[in-house]
């Protein structure tokens, strides 16, 4: 793949909304119906056909296989996701934890585009099973057979960035599990005390996706042009790293370069030496 083709790939964003659709989430879904359209329209305006969007709604295993998941596969027609959110029925849920792992496994199984920026926005008000929540019907093991570490590691291996949003900010078990699923994959963790506040977080995160795509394009283009790391004249000289040199050339903090390098590697793009 030549340099121009790689830069073109950097515009690709595959985005999946993974949302708890049990009965307690009625307020969030109502707010999503008001706001998600604006989020999708803003992304579509910038990315056009390079944007694909999907939806995985989840309930709990006790609701039965037919109702466990509601899925819209990744596609360029954002109106399909808008329609699913408009029509999805919010109900079900038994014990406090929900089928978070089953939903994320389904996210892994979706048809992700090659070298796309793969993002999952996880929103819920309950933790997964088997992470220590009281009254858990599956305390000894999630029905998927996977642990929290298993799921987080698989998401990271497949290059999925999870941005998790909890609607129960004072629930330490939900927070700790959502943090593990998000931070370890290169995503972020947030919490919100209301549905509308949650959607504002989603809008902010979505704007960051565009900023990430633009910065990563600049970063890869700079690397393709070549980076000269100066050599020290003697053993006592402090020689900057390549990332530090790139940060200076792009006039950004080196931490921003580290983040961009991580995204490029996770997207399996060829990074020039």
How much is the pLDDT for 95? 65
Q: How far apart are CA 177 and CA 128, in angstroms?
A: 7
How much is the pLDDT for 96? 85
Q: Report pLDDT digits (tens) over 208-228.
A: 999 999 999 999 999 999 998
If phi over 0 gives left and psi between -120 and 50 gives alpha, with beta otherwise, what is residue 163? beta
How much is the pLDDT for 239? 84
Q: How far apart are CA 168 and CA 129, in angstroms?
A: 16
Q: How far apart are CA 149 and CA 139, in angstroms?
A: 15
Which fold, 12-211?
Rossmann fold (3.40.50)
How much is the pLDDT for 170? 87
Q: What is the pTM of this model?
A: 0.94
How much is the pLDDT for 234? 67
How much is the pLDDT for 8? 87
Q: Report pLDDT digits (tens) over 68-109.
A: 999 999 999 999 999 999 999 998 877 689 999 999 999 999
What DSSP assignment string belongs to the chain?
--HHHHHHHTT-EEEEEEEE-SGGGHHHHHHHHHHHHHHHHHHHHHHGGGEEEEEEEE--GGG-HHHHEEEEEEES-HHHHHHHHHH-------SSSB-HHHHHHHHHHS-PPTT-EEEEEEEESSPBTTSS-TT-TTTT--TTS--HHHHHHHHHHTTEEEEEEES-TT-HHHHHHHHHHHHTTT--EEE-SSHHHHHHHHHHHHHHHHHHHHHHHHHHHHHHH--PPPPPSSTTS-PPPHHHHHHHHHTS-HHHHHHHHHHHHHTT-----
10-residue stretch averages of pLDDT, the chain, 273 residues long: 84 96 91 91 95 96 92 95 92 84 98 96 95 93 96 97 94 96 95 92 95 96 91 73 95 97 93 82
How much is the pLDDT for 138? 93
How much is the pLDDT for 16? 97
């Amino acid at each position: 793949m030549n340099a121009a083709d790689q830069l073109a790939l950097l515009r690709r964003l595959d985005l999946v909304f993974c949302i708890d659709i049990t009965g307690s989430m009625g307020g969030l879904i109502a707010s999503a119906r008001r706001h998600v359209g604006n989020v999708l329209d803003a992304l579509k305006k910038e990315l056009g056909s390079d944007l694909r969007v999907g939806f995985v709604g989840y309930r709990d295993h006790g609701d039965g296989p037919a109702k466990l998941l509601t899925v819209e596969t990744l596609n360029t027609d954002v109106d399909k996701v808008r329609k699913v959110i408009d029509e999805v029925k919010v109900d079900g849920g038994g014990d406090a934890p929900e089928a978070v792992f089953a939903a994320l496994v389904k996210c892994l199984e979706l048809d992700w585009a090659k070298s796309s920026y793969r993002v999952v926005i996880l929103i819920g008000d309950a933790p997964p099973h088997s992470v220590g929540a009281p009254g858990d019907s599956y305390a000894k093991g999630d029905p998927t057979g996977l642990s929290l570490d298993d799921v987080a590691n698989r998401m990271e291996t497949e290059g999925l960035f999870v941005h998790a949003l909890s609607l129960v900010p004072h629930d330490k078990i939900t927070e700790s599990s959502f943090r593990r699923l998000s931070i370890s994959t290169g995503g972020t963790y947030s919490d919100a005390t209301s549905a509308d506040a949650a959607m504002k977080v989603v809008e902010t995160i979505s704007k960051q996706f565009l900023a990430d795509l633009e910065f990563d394009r600049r970063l890869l283009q700079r690397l393709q042009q070549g980076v000269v790391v100066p050599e020290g004249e003697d053993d006592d000289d402090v020689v900057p790293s390549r990332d530090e040199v790139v940060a200076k050339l792009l006039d950004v903090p080196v931490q921003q370069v580290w983040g961009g390098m991580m995204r490029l590697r996770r997207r399996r793009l060829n990074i020039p030496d």
